[in-house]
Every structure is written in C-alpha cells, then in structure tokens.
Amino acid sequence: MITDVVIAGGGPNGLMLACELSLAGVRPVVLERLPEPSEEPKANGLLGQVVKMLDRRGLCERLSGSPEPPQPNSTYFMFGAMGLDLSLLEDSPIYALPVPQRRIVQVLQERAIELGVEIRRGHEVVGLSQDDDAVTIDVASPGGAYHLRARHLIGADGAHSTTRKLSGIGFPGITYDRMTVRSAHATVPADWVDPATGALNVPGYGAVSPFMPHRTERGGFSYAPMPGHPPLVSTTEWDQPTTDAPMSLDELRASIRRVLGVDVPLGPPDGQGPHALRRLTGGNTRVAERFADGRVFLIGDAAHVYAATGGGPGLNLGLQDAVNLGWKLAAEIRGSAPSGLLNSYETERRSAAQRMVLNAQAQAALIAPGSDVTGLREVFTELLRDPSTVQRLAELTAGADVRYAMGGREAHPLVGRFAPDMELHTPAGPVRLAELTRTARPLLLDLTEGASLAETLALRHDQVDIVAARSQAPAPTALLLRPDCYVAWASASPRPDPMEIETLRAALQRWFGVAEGTVRVSGQARSRRPEHR
C-alpha cells in the first residue's frame, strides 16, 4: 500500500504541514523519533507575518487564549539593536505572539489529531530510496524496523535533517564561530523593574527595554520577561575562550559585567521549569541547495537555518513553508494541480529564505563589536528618522515584504502579496477575511457592484469558494486568494472590465487548474460564514 504523504519530524513545521494537508483532504503520517514532545527551551514566541498567517487558520486564538484578532506593535521595535520608531508608520507589520515552542507544538499536535492525522512517536526515519512510483522509507521504531511506501516524503526533521542528508542535498552556507551567546532564565531584583514600561533599570548603565537587544562596543545584552515565566537574560560576546565547563549563572553574571560594565545580581529562576541555562558558540547560516529532490521536499530548519542573534526568528519562515507547500502537494495528490504548481514551492520559499538570511546577516553585522561598527550605526540611526526606511526594515524583519510572481500583468499592488485582513459584511452578518480562510481553500471575494463575477465567469466547480460581500474600505473590489492567503488576482474596479475578467480567468487556471465553465457557485459559500473545521 502506498501512503500519500509521510512527514519526517513532528516539530512545529511538520505538524503545521500535517494540519494543512488534512484541511486539503490528504491525511499524512507523521514519523517523530522522540517518544514525547521535546522539553528543550527553544522559541520564546512568534514574530512577524506568521502571526497573521496563524490567525487565518484560527490558531492564534488557541495560542494566545484570546478571541481578539492579533494587533500590530505600533510603538517601538529593534533592527540590529537600533530603535525602530513604529509610531511613524501607518501600518506596522510587526506582530508578536509570546508563546513558548513547546506550547506551539502542543497546540499544533492537538489540531493535527483533531483533523485525523496519524502521529507515530518513537518512529525514526533511518533510510530512504525513490523509484518512479514512490519513496520507500526505512523506519526504526520500538516495535522493530519496518518500511513505508509514500508518494511523497517531507523532511521536517530539523537542522540536522536525516531526510536532507539521505537525499544527497547539500547545505551550503557559513559557520560563524566567533560569537558566543549565553542565556538563562533567572530572577532580577524586583525593584529594578519599571512597572510602567517593564524596562530593567540597571544602576550605572541605564534602562534596558524588555525584549530589545542592547549593544555596547563589547557585546550585546537582552532581557525578556516572558509572561508567567522568569525572565530570559542573554549576552552575546565575540572571540571568547573555548571551554567544556558546564554553563552556570556565575558565567552569565561575569559576561554581563564585561558587556555592560556593571553587575546585575541574577538569582536562580523560580517557578516550574524547564529553565534555560545555555552557552551557544557559533551559528550556522545555511540554505539547502535544493528544497526538493524528486518525491522528497524539505521545509523549516531542514531547508534553512540562520544565526538567531541577527533577528528574524526561524518559525516565521518555517511555518509559512508548511502553508505554502500544503495546498500545492494536496492538489498534486488529487491530480488537480496545474503544471508547475509544485515547483513554485521552491521558487517562492527559497526567495523568502534568502531574504530572511539577508536580514539576519545584516543585523548580525550591525551588532558586532568595535568602533567602526559604532560609526556605521550612527549613519543608520540618521537614516532611521525617515519613515520609509523604518517601514522597509520593519517589513524585512517581519518577512512582510515577500511578493510572489503571480504571472500576468500584476496590475494591482496587492497581487503577489499576503492578503490584508478586512472587515466584511455578508448576508449572514459581519465577518473578517481572516475567518473566511480557515478552511484553507481558494477564495474569490467579490465586493463588486452586483457581485456578479461568478456569473460572468460561469463558475461551477467546488474548487473555489466564492463569497459575495460588502466592505467599507474603498479598495480592492475583488480578490482571488490562494489557500496560503497570497493574492493571485485583484481588482479595484467597481465593475471589472473584460481585460480584468480575462486575467482572473487566467489566474484561476494557473493556480487551481480551473478551466472556464467548471467552477460552481456554492450557495452556502455565498450566503453564510464557512464553518470552522
């Protein structure tokens, strides 16, 4: 028997892909070598466009515990440990969701199980080979070794990906070994914390804003008071002597003294662990030479890693890889994928990864020690008074400047971009666009006069949801969204002209293989909110 999709790795990105495939009607098998989810403290939260993406699937609510839509940070952020004044912007792209990685994994695993995904814990991929029909996967499990045949294997097995190595895919890039990052959950003197701003007032140094890296000519310092947890305190230094000694709070205290020039009396963390106490020397910045090899695809850290110190957290990239690949792979398996659809995964996500690597490397260069870097930073600080520079850097950091090539004229500025959320009025009542995309289906949103796009195109197929609505906002008047919420076509005309209708027809064909006269207008989709699965 051949399984449609096997996912190697039940970390956040593998589980997200499993959810996406399931929403599209394909039930994958997830093989995860760990018997239980890892307790290793990794991500402290999600940053950037991924937060909006998770809102498009109803997952923000589960992660934040709040039914409110996510709100952007419109005050202050950092780029290379320099202030970005987000109040200069009309539309801040910086969204943050402070949730630890183990909770993200827990929520995604619960969702995957709800959607019928089979997760085999304690099962490790140890070998693979491909033929014309399938991938044969060798699995080691507590019950013994066995083989699985799958039409596609996805390597979501992290930075040291076995899938990538067994597929002979190189992982070129650089290992930067001059930098040492020390981090620990620790207590700080309560009277040093400003109750109004949350800043840490360090006598002899000054205020350290929470979650914002600070640079001195000797290194970096950051203070991250996570809700419900002891603060995470970190330093970054260059050219430190190597040591095999276990990391300790004393070592972090000494590092802080070197970086800030003053003492910070850290205490052991209170509350329930696990607590971080780590020293990481060096960092890899690498992008896989291919994201696909025949029937094998890579997502997340298996496809790209970069040094976290430079900013631009990994899950912003990896979770969106999963969302990009899910609907395309499902269409391929159903036999409805237009030519070239699956190849667009690599084209689109490689450019997103390279952009994020650029961001991380630029920020790493700006926080390096030395007076020459200080000079560079002074120039940058002047540039950062310009709102358009702040906008560009905020978008770069958030991964919000990604624009995919959609083919055609791409006349409307939203084409190729992640669709903004909109308040809509449908016959069934008000709804946010983000709520209409939770089924992960293609969506034609018709806000035109008379809402007659479907009739004009004689759409009759159930591959595309069609929602007629009204919006207070002046533009756009119609949008065709891919399941990953990127805009494949848009119009600003109250009555799109024949040329625009032709480009809409071409977009339906290009992305969903929908030929003229084969799309059915669903009465349900037109008249009520889609059900949240």
Ligand X SMILES: Cc1cc2nc3c(=O)[nH]c(=O)nc-3n(C[C@H](O)[C@H](O)[C@H](O)COP(=O)(O)OP(=O)(O)OC[C@H]3O[C@@H](n4cnc5c(N)ncnc54)[C@H](O)[C@@H]3O)c2cc1C
Interacting residues with ligand X (CB under 6 A): 8-14, 31-34, 38, 42-46, 101, 124-125, 156-158, 162, 300-302, 308, 313-316, 318
Q: Which residue is nearest to ligand X (CB)?
A: 11
Instruction: Choose among 394, 397, 370: nearest CA to 384.
Output: 394
State which residue, 301 or 348, has the beta carbon closest to ligand X.
Answer: 301
Shortest Cβ 342–ligand X spacing (Å): 20
- Nearest CA among 236, 276, 281 for reference residue 256: 236
CB closer to ligand X, 126 vs 342: 126
Shortest distance, position 143 Cβ to ligand X, whole Å: 15
Are 383 and 389 in contact, with CB atoms under 8 Å apart?
yes
In the complex, minimum distance from the CB of residue 51 to ligand X, in angstroms, rounded to a whole number: 10
Closest CB to ligand X among residues 346, 446: 346
CB contact burial 348-379 (16+ within 10 A = b; e otherwise): bbbebbebbbebbbbbbebbbbeeebeeebee
* Of residues 97 and 188, the one with the C-beta less far from ligand X: 97
Q: Three-class SS of residue 302? A: helix
User: Minimum distance from CB of 520 to ligand X (Å)?
Assistant: 37
Q: Which is nearer to ligand X, 321 or 484 (CB)?
A: 321
Six token digits for residue 215: 């640079």
Instruction: Please check whether residue 393 is in contact with residue 77, taking contact to mean a CB–CB distance below 8 angstroms.
Output: no
CA atoms within 13 A on the CB side of 182: 22
Contact 195, 205 (CB under 8 A): no
Closest approach of ligand X to the CB of residue 47, in Å: 6
Q: What are phi and psi of 428, to 5 degrees?
A: -90, 0
Give the residue with the Cβ less far from ligand X, 50 or 488.
50
Of 47, 44, 40, nearest to 222 by C-alpha is: 44
Query: Which token pair is 372?
Result: 């020459």
* 3-state helix/strand/coil string of 460-479: CCCCCEEEECECCCCCCCEE
CA distance 405 to 181: 38
Closer to ligand X at the Cβ: 67 or 228? 228
Residues 495 and 448 sit within 8 Å (Cβ to Cβ):
yes
Q: Give the separation between CA 477 and CA 451, rounded to whole angstroms.
A: 9
Considering all CA atoms of the chain, what is the largest pairwise distance in Å, rounded to the nearest integer?
Answer: 73
Q: How far, rounded to the nearest angstrom, does the alpha carbon of residue 355 sit from its chain's CA centroid?
A: 13
Task: Tell me whether residue 43 or residue 415 sits nearer to ligand X (CB atom).
Answer: 43
State the nearest-atom distance from the C-beta of 43 to ligand X, in Å: 3
Q: What is the DSSP string of 105-170?
A: HHHHHHHHHHTT-EEEET-EEEEEEE-SS-EEEEEE-TT--EEEEEEEEEE-S-TT-HHHHHTT--
Give the residue with the Cβ less far from ligand X, 22 or 162. Answer: 162
Least distance from ligand X to the Cβ atom of residue 513, Å: 30
Question: Rg (Cα) of the chain, in Å, rounded?
Answer: 24
C-beta of 38 vs 106, nearer to ligand X:
38
C-beta of 156 vs 384, nearer to ligand X: 156
From the CB of 402, what's the least distance to ligand X, in Å? 16
Minimum CB distance to ligand X, residue 83 (Å): 20
Helix (H, G, I), strand (E, B) or coil at 279: strand
Q: How far is the CB of 48 from ligand X (least distance, A)?
A: 8
Minimum distance from CB of 527 to ligand X (Å)? Answer: 39
